[in-house]
Chain A
């Protein structure tokens, strides 16, 4: 689904390749306003770039969290960056589906986050293998699998239960402290300084740190 902010015009395919690549490069230098060490491209916010002609382009962005106040700042930053490079008309489109996920974050971005003092998301969100979980969760999942086999119709309900189960909190893998690397860390608050982060504390070096939640 695309909520079109302005009407898109036809794209000149022959030219679009080179120009779009150039624009991707420019946008790679636009930092996230809250976490300036990673760019909005590395964060996975920019989804598509279409070049109409030398002075006009369409950029599709996707919000991280529905209420993330940084989105307007990001939109303004994109427009400003492209204006600086001579693109006069920048049309921004907001795309909700597929919903943004931390899986789109590049490996380089995750490393940059860690260096900046923020623990990067620990596991892939779209991970059906669900490795690294305590035995209690294994038993729970094995039970759910058996149930599914016995009652296929109950499958959806089981998926829903797993998503909101408070056991899922326990199942979160140990988050390594971005400062000393210790995995002896504890969750202080499921919500941190921005919607995308949780607050942890390292029990080894005692430093509190932000954790970028898998989303």
Chain B
């Protein structure tokens, strides 16, 4: 598969899996405002997924469309990072996963607005307004929970520590990522990581949270299709309809 197609699938898969996970909170959020916020973010990510998939499908030219990419690929064909498939857990877990992702996603998308690929740059320019909003909100909530009550601080710190090992995969560039950097399509990892660490560090300081060690060992593999046990369950629910009733439409 062409490097750019793989790169686009990674972008789309990250957005889709997180969107699906956030949608699980629909109707169960801890407050009505949070319920709406999560589903709004999920909707933005779903829209971005469609734009990435649409382009990937065109480049691939194998006759697959965005729905087939979403519903008819098995777990090992998904290219999302492991962070996004981690369980929703408690609300601190969901928010920390979101904050780690948003912080990276914002700087990535911002970098992609200068992509040598004009289609990618256009999608990024569209998405940037949305992801800025996402990051502002998740940073805000991390501060409120981290610097909140004793219990909320404890849970938020636990989520930060627990998810930390999944935060590095986005910066672990493989041959596909490097090919995109060389072609001027994607921003380099070192730049993104520095921006990410600075922002997460700044928010954690305000949230009275302790930043886990930057040189900690990091999980990886999701981008290459080696997933945790969680992804299969997510897909089982997300893909059920198309698997049980192939071609169903409404």
Check A66–B48 contact: CB distance below 8 A: yes
Contact check: which of A96, A168, A188 meets B51 at CB < 8 Å?
A96
Whether a CB of chain B sits under 8 angstroms from the CB of A7 is no
* A24-78, CB < 8 A from B: 63, 65-69
Whether a CB of chain B sits under 8 angstroms from the CB of A129 is no
**Contacts A188-B33, A189-B36, A190-B37; is A68 near B132 (CB within 8 Å)?**
no
Whether a CB of chain A sits under 8 angstroms from the CB of B126 is yes
Interface segment, B89-97, B116-124, B152-160, B170-178?
B116-124
A199 to B46, CA, bound (A): 22
Chain B residue numbers with a CB within 8 Å of A164 are 106, 132, 135-136, 139, 199
Chain A residue numbers with a CB within 8 Å of B129 are 99, 215
Whether a CB of chain A sits under 8 angstroms from the CB of B85 is no
Check B125–A96 contact: CB distance below 8 A: yes
Contact check: which of B47, B110, B121 meets A66 at CB < 8 Å?
B47
**Contacts A3-B54, A191-B40, A195-B40; is A96 near B123 (CB within 8 Å)?**
yes
**A/B pair count, beta carbons within 8 Å:** 93
Measured CB to CB, the nearest residue on chain B to A215 is B129
Whether a CB of chain A sits under 8 angstroms from the CB of B44 is yes
Residues of A contacting B: mostly: loop
Check B43–A1 contact: CB distance below 8 A: no
Whether a CB of chain A sits under 8 angstroms from the CB of B133 is yes
Check B125–A99 contact: CB distance below 8 A: yes
Whether a CB of chain A sits under 8 angstroms from the CB of B107 is yes
* B11-31, CB < 8 A from A: none
Check A169–B140 contact: CB distance below 8 A: yes
Whether a CB of chain B sits under 8 angstroms from the CB of A139 is no
Check A69–B43 contact: CB distance below 8 A: yes
Whether a CB of chain A sits under 8 angstroms from the CB of B137 is yes
A2 to B248, CA, bound (A): 30
Check B143–A97 contact: CB distance below 8 A: no
Chain B residue numbers with a CB within 8 Å of A96 are 51, 122-123, 125-126
Contact check: which of B36, B37, B143 meets A166 at CB < 8 Å?
B143
A96 to B126, CA, bound (A): 7
Whether a CB of chain A sits under 8 angstroms from the CB of B195 is yes
Check A66–B136 contact: CB distance below 8 A: no
* A157-215, CB < 8 A from B: 157, 160-161, 163-166, 168-169, 188-193, 195, 199, 213, 215
Chain A residue numbers with a CB within 8 Å of B133 are 190, 213
Measured CB to CB, the nearest residue on chain B to A95 is B122
Chain A residue numbers with a CB within 8 Å of B60 are none
Whether a CB of chain A sits under 8 angstroms from the CB of B127 is yes
Contact check: which of B37, B41, B45, B139 meets A189 at CB < 8 Å?
B37
A184 to B41, CA, bound (A): 28
Give 12 CB contacts A-B under 8 Å: A1-B119, A63-B126, A65-B43, A66-B47, A66-B126, A67-B50, A68-B47, A99-B122, A160-B106, A164-B132, A164-B135, A169-B136
Closest 3 CB pairs of A and B: A67-B47, A66-B47, A189-B33
Residues of A within 8 A of B (CB): 1, 3, 63, 65-69, 96-100, 157, 160-161, 163-166, 168-169, 188-193, 195, 199, 213, 215
